[in-house]
Each structure stands twice: as structure tokens, then as C-alpha cells.
Chains A and B, each alone.
Chain A
Amino acid sequence: MPASDILNPTAGWDATLGDSMNPSYGFTRKRPTTKLNKKPIGGVPWTRETQNTGHTFNFSWLGRTWACVQRLKRYYEQYEDGFFTIVDWDGGGRHYVGRFTTEIVPTITANNKWDVQNVTFEEIPQQTMVSYPSDWLNDAIAFFITNDFSDQKLATSSATNAWSQTARVSVAGAQGTEHVSLATVGTAYLTMDNPGTAGDWAQYEYRGYGFRLYLLKGPAFGQCNLYLDGVLIETVDCYNATDIGPQIVYANAAIPLDFHRVKVICDATKNSSSTATNVSWYALEVMR
């Protein structure tokens, strides 16, 4: 399995190579922009995600053994039409799957000392990984129902126009995204609400890896079906004996890089203890 072929499986010294496979430099963690951008003279910029491009790195290995260079050459040849895993040990051990897109050009600098510079590694989307990124605090971003310019980004569908935006104030116990805390009473937030009409849906398309979905939970909230890319994941029960505001109702980091659609479909069902079938969407937190 290509993903399990790891160029640098250990953080430290590899005794079999007599060297370390970790690059000297290059984990710039750069990702080319995938957004189109248009701005009228006197308006705000409009943007749209258009590609599922991943990260790109430009590595350098300096003063390495010939065994290290051989391994680099083999990985370049082997995965010219494939992908392998490289680990950013200095950056918290995050894995990336992809391949070298430029040749390995070794330069001898001393006795059994080789430099390999300017090797481009491009991440490949849609591939399984040995370890998916899961640093929600540093790598995840949050998508709310509108962007900061009040343009609604959450797609909704209802035959009866039942979806509506509601401005709310946080309650104690509310769970915000990693960067927007709602635990403090008084923090305002916006939700997209539905009375639970069967068949009504809300859907968000994002580019990234795994996600965490935040829905409101309380005594008047019902159940809904959660779909990822058109496949039913599970039925979510939003009932809670007390009103605790937004909560993570589903979290899954083990999703490859790609465009993904997270969809909540109301089905007018509820927990037997619940008083209503309401469904309210707060946010989607996405690993990038």
C-alpha cells in the first residue's frame, strides 16, 4: 500500500541508512491558493474554492550519505506514477501523501557527503493515509453558515422555505470551534434553523480532510441524518435535557484531502424525551 511506504518513518537516526531521511529544510507547509477572487471597485472581494490542490514543499537534504540519496532516487522513480508518505516530524508528526515532481539531482560535496536540493513534493488528493491530520487547534478552520461578509455559504433546501437564520447568544456549556469559544455567556453566534420538516436539508461543501460538525442540542431538538458525499454516516440525536447550545455531534479526522459535502437531512423524528424535532446548524470545522 503506497501510503504505508514512508520515506522517513522515524524522527531520528536510521541505523540502516547511517543517516536520517528527514530533510534539512523544506517543510514550509505552503499550500497554493485554490480560490478565485473578484472584487468590484467599491465592493468586497468575492471568492470561491475551485480546486482540491494540497500542500507543496521544496525540500533540501544536505550532507547526506549515498544510502540516503539512493532512497530518495528510488522513491522518485517508484512513485512517479503514484504516491508515498512523508512525515513532518518537526511539525508535530503530520503525514502527507504525495510524490516528488522534480528530479533528484545529487551533488557530492565531500567524501560520501551528498547534497540534494530543490526537490518539489506535491501532495496528492483523494488518497488514504496511514495517519490523517488531527491537530484541530492549529490546522483546522471553521466554516459558519455565512462568511464574514454575510454571504450565506451553507446551502439549504426546503419545499416550504423552512430554513431561517437566527442570531443567538451563547449559553453555558456551549461548545465553540477551536478558535471561537462559545463557553462564555454573551458570545453571539448565528445558526440555520429548521423545524425538522422531513426532507429539508442543509449542506456544506468544503476542501480539506476530516471535519467536526456542530449542531445545537437541547430539549426541543430532534434527530437528523448525516451524510458525507452522499453516503449516510449516522443518525444524529440533538436531544439534551438542558439547552447546551452548539455541540460537536460528529467528528471524523480520517477523511482524505478532497472536496467533501457534509449534508444534514431532517426526517421529523426525535428522541422520545424531546419536545420537538428542530434541527439547527452552527458550524463545520474542517482540517486543512
Chain B
Amino acid sequence: MISYPPSLKATGGAHTGLPPANLLEVLDVNGNLYLWADREGVWPSVIMASQFGVPPTVPLPVASSSGQLVLFSAPTTAVAILGLHPGQSPSDASASPTLSGGSVFYRHGGLGLGGAQINWGGFHMPKLPPGAVIDAMISVCSAVLSGNAYWSIYDTLPLGSSPVIYGPVDNGGPIGSSFSGQIVGHLPSGADIEDMTITGEISSSNGTDQGEAFFSGVGVLIYFHIDAFDLSQTSNASDGYSLLPGDWKPWLLSVPQLIFHRSLQTDVGSFVIQNLSGDSLSRDTEKLLRASAFEGAEFVYRCWQADAEAAWIEVHGTLKVADVGVDTLTLTGKQTIDPAQEDTPLEIYCETCQLQWGGPRCGAAGSTECNYNYQTCQQPNRIMIVSNNYEKNYGENEAVVAQNQMIRRRVI
């Protein structure tokens, strides 16, 4: 049994105190998020929290504050540079870059300043939810260092003609002794991380120096919060989100009566949305239906007790468009996994193989097409038939299994 949170118990039954609000969140198959309620207000979002609030796997150098969410942007390019300076023999250095880190090794070869580095780039700003306000951006790189060469880890943002180093993330000078930890650089507000580079480097001009570094967790952490009261953000069409602002629209006219069953039976019900708002030429829902694919869209419905800040019930499922009426849009809510909605190959169980000869699923590499039966199959381990044997009225002691080809399409 799932117990109610104490705050709900404190407010009493759902029929006392403030009437609960009906909240419907819809994430359509194109990634548009719509927030509909039966009243004006700003409410916490389940989908937004689950979709955007997953903490990154790297350690957070700064703990996120209440209501703050953190996203992680990993590099999409990692380039090793060996030698660093003209005349430096690359054989003195080696590097193994990966998109999450890598390693570099350098041993001075007696030809002046040299070293090896990895440059991580191709950072992309993650898609932020509507109403998101970025609080801070921090570049991070964890390193395990050993040896006595010089090392530095820094990020660069091209500003104007020459790169400007924000940080350096850290510059430890001679390693001297081993180091293990996370290097952090605070980026300026509004920085364009698309052009940013994070560099991990070992270098030295001393003939006896050498060093080794292992990098991991390279990326940029974006700390943000969702300012739900920012009503100035009226259109997010350009970033792939809905045309709606980040606040809840009071469009929800009615919700179904939902019954929880003890069995695996699930409930079906209709959510009714108003279909009148919009400009004088076209309705808002017309625009939504053009921009969205509500068939199979994920929804979360909550009966929300505002004063308790908790939901009496929360239902997750998928939607289908039941009716687009002259003044209402009716969406039918169903269970999350609906086999009837799945697209599966049109294949039947029969004595004829359903695989295309020579195709990836068949795997036959010969030059002669089979007859799509067991007798001519070139990949019997992959054949997709229902094999069947027929006895031809032989005596019990002389039972012979027919070996003739059978080309039939009998559905079993």
C-alpha cells in the first residue's frame, strides 16, 4: 500500500479545504511538453523534473541549491596533440583521447620545451525546458597525475581574435607528487560553450622530467532553475519545444474518473481540453495538432492538493486523440504500454519462411535464392517457419517422413 505524504493527511480529505487542482502534463512524441490545468497557477512538473532533473554522473563541484537542476554537456570531439612545439619529437609523447577523458604520457627528449595534450571540444548546450534560467556554468575535469613534469588543465573560449582562458582551470606547476581530484573552472555568464575547448596537458623543458595523466569526467555542468513565473517567454518554437510559455495553461475542462484495480487491468478515460482559444483566425489546438503527435504521447495526470503540495493520485499513461470538436479537444488516456500501438513486422506463422532471402535476418550468402521452405533453406538455424512433418499412411513399422518440398502458406 502506498501511503499518503503527511502533508496530505494534514489537509484532510480531498473534499475539504482547497479543492484539488487537476493537472495534466503531456509530452508528445516530438518532444513538445504541454502543461494543462483546470485553473490558473504555477505547479511543479513531473515530466520536467524527470526529463531534465537527472543529475550528471560526474561529481558536482558545487552542490545544487533547492529547486536547482543540473545538466551535463559532454564533449563530442577529443583531439590529441603530441610534441606541442616545432622540433619536438612526437615519439617522446603519447596520448589516448576519449570523449570522456583519456590519458597522456610524456618523457622529455632533450629538445627543449615539449609535451602532449588532449583538447576536448564540440560541446553543445543541452535542450533546456521552457522557462529555464541558467544560474552557473562550470567546466570540470577529473585527473590523476603522477611524475615530475609540468601539467595544466584549462578551458578556452574564443573571444574576438585571441582565445581567452577562463581559469586556467588549474595549473599545478610541477607535479612533484601525485595528484588526484577534480579541476573546476567557472565560466562567465552567457558563455557560448559551443566554441569552448578544455585542454589537459603535460609539458616540460627539463631533460629528466616525465609525467603521466589520466583524465575523466570532462564536460560542462549547467546549473539552472525553472522560473515558472517568467511569462515573457511566450514562444519556444525555435528550440523545439512547444509554442506555449512555461506556465500552466488553464485549458483542462474535465478529467476522467479513474479507478485503480487490484489486477493488471488498467483504466481508460478522456481528458477534455478547450478548443476555443487562439487568434481570430485559428485555434491554439489547431497549432498544437499541427506541431505535435499526440498519438502515443506520454501523459501524467495528478489530482493536486495545492496547500499540501502533494498529489492525491498520480496517473501515468499514453494518449490518443479521440475527437477534435468545434469547442473541445478530447484525448483518451490509456496504459503506458499498449501492444496495439506497436508497429511490428507483418509476419505470420506458417510453413513458408517469412525472411527475405539474403537479407540481414536470413544471412544466406549463396547465389541461388531458396524456395522459402525448410528443404531449400541455406540457413536452417535462422529459418522462420513452423516446421511440420506429415506421415503418409505408411505402416507403423515403415513410417517414412516425407522429404518432398512443401510450398504451402497455411497459417497455423
Contact = CB atoms under 8 A, between A and B. Distances in A.
Interface of A: 36-38, 40-44, 46-50, 143, 151-156, 161, 203-206, 261
A38 B280 contact: no
Interface in B18-71: 19, 21-22, 37-41
A36 B278 contact: no
Contacts of B326: 36, 50
Given A41-B19, A154-B279, 6 more contacts: A40-B37, A42-B40, A43-B250, A43-B251, A155-B281, A161-B237
A143 B279 CA distance: 11
A155 B280 contact: yes
Contacts of B274: 38, 40, 46
Nearest to A156: B279
Contact of A38 (B41, B235, B238, B276): B276
A255 to B, nearest CB: 16
Given A38-B253, A38-B274, A48-B327, A43 B279 contact: no
A41 B36 CA distance: 12
A72 to B, nearest CB: 38
Contacts of A49: 280
B279 A40 contact: no
A205 B21 contact: no
B252 interface: yes
B88 interface: no
B328 A38 contact: yes
A43 B40 CA distance: 6
Q: Contact size class for B?
A: 20 to 34
Nearest to A154: B279
Contact of A40 (B237, B250, B278): B250
24 contacts: A36-B276, A38-B253, A38-B274, A38-B276, A38-B327, A38-B328, A40-B37, A40-B250, A42-B250, A43-B38, A43-B39, A43-B40, A43-B250, A48-B276, A48-B277, A151-B277, A152-B279, A154-B280, A156-B279, A161-B237, A203-B280, A203-B281, A204-B281, A205-B280
Contact of B250 (A44, A156, A204): A44
A204 B38 contact: no
A155 B287 CA distance: 12
A37 B39 CA distance: 16
A43 B253 CA distance: 9
Chain B interface, >50% SS class: loop
B283 interface: yes
A40 B281 contact: no
A41 B38 contact: yes
B39 A46 contact: no
B177 interface: no
B280 A46 contact: no
B263 interface: no
B40 A153 contact: no
Interface in B315-349: 326-328
Nearest to B280: A205
A42 B19 CA distance: 10
B404 interface: no
A36 B280 contact: no
A38 B283 CA distance: 13
Contact of B283 (A37, A48, A154, A204): A48
B327 A40 contact: no
Nearest to A262: B280
A151 B278 contact: yes
Contacts of A40: 37-39, 250-253, 274
B389 interface: no
B42 to A, nearest CB: 13
Contacts of A48: 276-278, 283, 327
B282 interface: yes
Nearest to B283: A48
A164 to B, nearest CB: 10
B21 A42 contact: yes
Contacts of B39: 40-43
**Top 3 closest pairs, chain A to chain B, by CB:** A42-B39, A43-B250, A155-B279
Nearest to B249: A43
Contacts of A46: 251, 274, 276-277
Contacts of B251: 40, 43, 46
B304 to A, nearest CB: 12
A171 B250 CA distance: 36
Q: Which residue of A43, A154, A261 has the most chain B CB atoms within 10 A of its CB atom?
A: A43
Most buried by A among B235, B277, B278: B277
B43 to A, nearest CB: 12
A48 B325 CA distance: 13
A36 B283 CA distance: 13
B32 to A, nearest CB: 17
A154 B279 CA distance: 6
A143 B22 CA distance: 33
